[in-house]
Amino acid sequence: MNWIFGIHAVQGLLKTNPQRVEALQVCRGRQDVRLKKLLALAEQHQVTVQWTSAKELDALVDGRHQGVAARCTEGQTYDEGFLSELVEQQGQNCLLLMLDGVTDPHNLGACLRVADGAGVQAVIVPRDNSVGVTPVVSKVACGAAETVPLVAVTNLARTLRKLQQAGVWVVGTAGDADKTIYDTDLTGPLVMVMGAEGTGMRQLVRAQCDFLARLPMAGEVSSLNVSVATGVCLFEAVRQRNSVD
């Protein structure tokens, strides 16, 4: 049984995939504007609401539930077949994100949230050595886990080769790259590859990139949190793509 918790995460689920929600557990005594909107959504989609105590919710989920938790079915993870169709449909507008070895659910959730904001059409992760869409991921993503397809693949380097054959350019981020992200062309069909904090991209993935780019770091800190770096890189891509239009 899966539990998604937190106002934003549950609201996002009710807006985009209400058929996944089997029932809501709501803390007695909470009566505010945000909760009323969520309950109106639940009523609209005929979702059962069960009133409970904060103590019972604390025992139910691992994290800040904000007085709301949704019992739901398993979220969908997509495969390479879906990715091929997506690339063909998007053409020149294709913008993808690949995460190599991001295992922290908070980081994945934050990356999904950034990807949604930047208009990324799918996030690609390895089937192994990665975190899936857990309740924590869904909460941190604030609804983006329901709107951005997560594509789990067996081999990242092989997936990159297939994307390149379909006309997608691959830009990887690396601290030792010659060019900065601001000096790199991020227009056209593109997949942005972000490595895990500390270790970065694995060698086979790095070798498959068409271009490497770095973030210019002016202070003493050598790198940013992966979700922050993802946000900087993706929104630079958005800026460049909007400038072309």
Contact 215, 222 (CB under 8 A): no
Task: Give the pLDDT of residue 20.
Answer: 83
pLDDT tens, 145-159?
Answer: 788 889 999 999 999
Tokens of 24: 């809501």
Task: Give the pLDDT of residue 245.
Answer: 61
Please, what's the largest Cα pairwise distance for the chain? 57
Domain span(s) for CATH 3.30.1330.30 in the chain: 2-72
Task: Give the pLDDT of residue 1.
Answer: 60
Helix (H, G, I), strand (E, B) or coil at 68: strand
163 closest CA partner among 181, 184, 189: 189
Contact 82, 159 (CB under 8 A): no
Tokens of 117: 């904001």
pLDDT tens, 154-177?
Answer: 999 999 999 999 999 999 999 899
The domain at 2-72 falls in which architecture? Answer: 2-Layer Sandwich (3.30)
Domain span(s) for CATH 3.40.1280.10 in the chain: 80-244
Tokens of 70: 């949704």
Q: Please list the ranges in the chain whose pLDDT falls under 50.
A: none
Contact 226, 188 (CB under 8 A): no
Task: Give the pLDDT of residue 117.
Answer: 95
Task: Give the pLDDT of residue 140.
Answer: 80
Residue type, 147: T
Q: How far apart are CA 97 and CA 170, in angstroms?
A: 10
Q: How far apart are CA 1 and CA 16, in angstroms?
A: 20
Task: Give the pLDDT of residue 193.
Answer: 98
The pTM score is 0.81
> Which DSSP helix (H) or strand (E) runs through 107?
helix 105-118
CATH number of 80-244: 3.40.1280.10
Dihedral sign of CA atoms 216, 218, 219, 220 in order? positive
